[in-house]
Amino acid sequence: MKMRLLGAAAFAALMLAGGAQAKGPDAARVCGGSGCTTVRGPSAVAELLDWMSAAFAVGDTPRTAPYYRFTLRDRGHMFMTLIWVPSRHSMRVLQPAMYPFAPGSQHPYWRAVSRRGAAVLGRAVEGLKPFSAPRAWR
């Protein structure tokens, strides 16, 4: 009897937890030279951030090349901007500063994009043409 009651309580807790609001960005504006599209919903946007689980290393700034821009928002507030350069297997990440940087400052950095990450980002830009290569990265 006690086990059934515990099982029922555990099941109820799982059902209630499933309804809890997800944390993290809930919208992404994906843009290229031919236009933009929007990815909505925490689960869909979280997939765009799958590359964050890969080993982290700051990379060198690549030579300029065609690129796409991803602007991620969390309940209307800027969360992160990504510049993805598929031909260079890199992205620039710009996010609001975290410790030890001053609040409100932003510190962009470049990092490599894995094959798996590139596949996810590639699906998000499907049908869009990239922006032309800039003269320099700003």
Q: pLDDT tens, 61-84?
A: 999 999 999 999 998 888 899 999
Instruction: Flag whether 131 is in a domain.
Output: no
- Residue 43 is assigned to a structural domain of this protein: yes
Is residue 14 situated within a structural domain? no
- Is 99 a member of any domain? yes
Residue 11 lies in a domain: no
- Domain assignment of residue 114, yes or no: yes
Residue type present at position 64 = T
Q: Is the N-terminal amide bond of 103 cis, ω within 30° of 0?
A: no
Q: What is the mean pLDDT of residues 14-39?
A: 75
Q: Is 13 among the domain residues?
A: no
Q: How would DSSP label each residue in 34-65? A: TEEEEEESHHHHHHHTGGGGSPP-EEPPPPP-
Confidence (pTM): 0.78
If one counts the domains in the chain, the total is 1
Residue numbers of the domain that contains 91: 22-124
Domain-located, residue 17: no
What is the dihedral angle through the alpha carbons of 38, 39, 45, 51, rounded to the nearest 10 degrees?
-70
